[in-house]
């Protein structure tokens, strides 16, 4: 059984903590480890191989770091240039497995779910494995314990109509889109409905057979995109020109709602889809007034609120059922019953060209990262942290000069034909057009204050000449 972990989402309903370049699955929202790390860790038992990760190409180095932090390696990382939904993502993984002459069972899992009862998950997996080995396509259904309008539902067939399925598995009778509250309440009372978890188990060849039957354009495009992809160690960069032609569709619409082999295995394992702020409030610890508080937060006469402070003191007085999330560059305030619509705010900010939906002030790079301290019309100040042994690309800028001041550690600086060392409190100047590089030859983190000045300070003003991380020219550092 090979886990295929889908990690391509942007988590816009959890803005402003979740950003396109650092989305929710890479955040420790409920526990010590991130949602992505928890997804990987719960699969560490016999019979489950190392995972295949399908992600956005911009997240490759985040995934590597988070896997290294929990001492796990992926057998493959498939990097999409952009999202085309879950049906193509799983097709790429299935095609790669078959190309290696392995027709294994694929356990498809979103990277952002919580499951508290791992023993119950394993029991459900054994039922699902038996059904999948018989050629069925298993969807894990969560017993609908309360009326939810944000989930899709599955109706299971009666036991006598399951045409000799494996015990514990039921044929899917109907898929239902997100219902209104009245219908959702009826579903809960009937006891025959399950929430669609978005978790699947099927054999690679079975999925591709069904996909080719119902969505041949997706199948053919994924075959061609994989053939034209570039491989770098365990990572595969999916060919962008080909993948751009791929239809956008989910597993549910493309295959599961059309195949005759769909079945549901109930999963009662404390499953939670942390899709919005109210669902996160449901799963985290709360005080005696029902408030979930994180960071430097003070509340009085307030009840059932979620308050997340990040960089400054946040106070609440006389508020009930609200969500307040503060980051260095944005504050989001909403009623708890409106948080499903946070995505509308993100869409409006995107339409206005705002960068707050794309990245945090803290930006992560394979060599470390930087924090934007101050930005003006012709200047920008950054706080750079370079990991021991790491280095930035050899690069030049056409529109800006840079001053570097070492705060701590040792810097190896290349500027033009010269290479020299700088230590704490020393500085250097990088003129416009100079070929330069910053590296950390030491054993502790290098911290630099970088002051940029010039007519244009955009991150695309970089001509990259050489890079140890395999990144292309004319992209971010």
pLDDT tens digits, 172-201: 988 988 888 888 888 888 888 899 999 999
Query: Which residue intervals of the chain bear CATH 2.60.120.10?
Result: 362-466
Q: Write down the pTM of the prediction.
A: 0.86
5 phi, psi to nearest 5 deg: -95, 120
Whether residue 458 has pLDDT greater than 90: no
* Residue 19 per-residue DSSP state: B
3-state DSSP assignment of residue 10: coil
Q: Provide the edge-to-edge strand list for the sheet that holds 411-415.
A: 418-422, 411-415, 436-439, 394-396, 463-466
- Segment 409-425, tens digit of pLDDT: 999 999 999 999 999 99
What is the spatial distance between Cα 214 and Cα 179, in angstroms, rounded to a whole number? 26
Q: For the chain, what is the mean pLDDT?
A: 92
Cis peptide before 16 (omega within 30 of 0): yes
**Cα–Cα dist 469/385, whole Å:** 17
What pLDDT does 473 receive? 56
Q: Which two tokens stand for residue 213?
A: 């039957």
Distance of alpha carbon 359 from alpha carbon 303, whole angstroms: 31
Residues 436 and 414: beta-carbon distance below 8 Å: yes
The DSSP code for 306 is E
Q: pLDDT confidence of 163, banded at 50, 70, 90?
A: low
Give the residue among 137, 121, 198, 214 at the shortest CA–CA distance from 170: 137
- Integer Rg of the chain from CA: 25
**Can you tell me the distance from the alpha carbon of 207 to that of 137, in angstroms, rounded to the nearest whole number?**
8
pLDDT at res. 271: 93
Quick one: pLDDT at residue 477? Answer: 47
Separation CA 295–CA 324 (nearest Å): 12
Q: Provide the b/e sequence for 20-53 (b: ≥16 CB within 10 Å).
A: bbbbbbbbebbeeebbbbbbbebbeeeebebbbb
> 105-155: per-residue pLDDT in tens?
999 999 999 999 999 999 999 999 999 999 999 999 999 888 887 888 999
Nearest to 95 by CA among 248, 208, 6, 252: 208
Choosing among 3.90.550.10, 3.90.199.10, 2.60.120.10, 1.10.10.60, the CATH entry for 362-466 is: 2.60.120.10
Enumerate residues 6+ apart whose C-beta is below 8 A from 37. 66, 67, 69, 70
| Tokens at 122, concatenated | 């394993």
Structure token digits, residue 312 = 């400054």
Q: Can you tell me whether residue 83 is helix, strand or coil?
A: coil
pLDDT surpassing 90 at residue 476: no
Alpha-carbon distances, residue 297 vs 104, 189, 229, 285, 305 (angstroms): 49, 40, 48, 15, 12
How many whole angstroms separate alpha carbon 370 and alpha carbon 393? 15
DSSP 9: -
pLDDT at position 33, please? 95
The CATH number assigned to the domain with range 2-272 reads 3.90.550.10
| pLDDT tens digits along 281-290 | 999 999 999 9
Residue 475 has pLDDT above 70, yes or no: no
Task: Give 249-283 pLDDT, tens digit per residue.
Answer: 999 999 999 999 999 999 999 999 988 999 999 99
Q: Write out the residue limits of the CATH 3.90.550.10 domain(s) in the chain.
A: 2-272
């Amino acid at each position: 059984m090979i886990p295929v972990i889908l990690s391509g989402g942007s988590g816009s309903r959890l803005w402003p903590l979740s950003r396109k370049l650092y989305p929710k699955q890479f955040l420790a929202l409920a526990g010590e480890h991130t949602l992505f790390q928890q997804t990987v860790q719960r699969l560490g038992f016999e019979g489950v191989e190392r995972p295949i990760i399908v992600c956005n190409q911009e997240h490759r180095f985040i995934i590597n770091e988070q896997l290294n932090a929990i001492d796990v390696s992926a057998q493959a990382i498939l990097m999409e240039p952009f999202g085309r939904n879950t049906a193509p993502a799983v097709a790429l993984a299935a095609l790669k497995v078959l190309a290696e002459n392995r027709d294994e069972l694929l356990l498809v899992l979103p990277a952002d779910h919580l499951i508290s009862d791992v023993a119950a998950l394993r029991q459900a997996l054994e039922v699902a494995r038996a059904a999948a080995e018989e050629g069925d396509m298993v969807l894990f259904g969560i017993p609908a314990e309360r009326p939810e309008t944000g989930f899709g539902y599955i109706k299971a067939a009666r036991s006598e109509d399951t045409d000799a399925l494996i015990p514990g598995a039921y044929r899917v009778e109907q898929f239902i889109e997100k219902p209104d509250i009245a219908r959702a309440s009826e579903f809960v009372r009937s006891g025959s409905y399950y929430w669609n978890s978005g978790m699947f188990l099927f054999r690679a060849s079975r999925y591709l057979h069904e996909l080719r039957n119902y969505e041949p354009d997706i199948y053919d495009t994924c075959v061609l995109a994989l053939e034209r992809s570039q491989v770098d160690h365990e990572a595969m960069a999916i060919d962008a020109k080909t993948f751009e032609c791929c239809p956008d569709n989910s597993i549910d619409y493309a295959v599961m709602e059309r195949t005759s082999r769909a079945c549901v295995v109930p999963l009662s394992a404390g499953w939670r889809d942390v899709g919005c702020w109210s669902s996160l409030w449901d799963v985290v610890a709360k005080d005696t007034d029902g408030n979930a508080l994180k960071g430097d937060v003070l509340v009085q006469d307030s009840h059932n609120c979620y308050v997340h402070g990040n960089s400054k003191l946040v106070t609440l007085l006389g508020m009930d059922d609200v969500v307040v999330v503060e980051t260095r560059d944005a504050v989001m305030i909403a009623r708890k019953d409106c948080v499903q619509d946070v995505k509308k705010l993100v869409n409006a900010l995107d339409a206005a060209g705002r960068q707050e939906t794309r990245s945090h002030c803290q930006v992560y790079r394979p060599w470390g990262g930087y924090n934007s301290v101050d930005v003006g019309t012709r200047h920008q100040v950054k706080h750079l942290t370079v990991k021991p042994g790491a280095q930035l690309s050899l690069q030049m800028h056409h529109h800006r000069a840079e001053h570097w001041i070492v705060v701590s550690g040792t810097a190896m600086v290349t500027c033009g034909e010269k290479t020299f060392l700088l230590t704490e409190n020393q500085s250097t100047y990088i003129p416009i057009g100079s070929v330069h590089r910053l590296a950390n030859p030491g054993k502790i983190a290098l911290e630099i204050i970088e002051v940029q000045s010039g007519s244009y300070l955009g991150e695309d003003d970089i001509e990259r000449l050489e890079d140890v991380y395999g990144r292309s020219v004319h992209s971010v550092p």
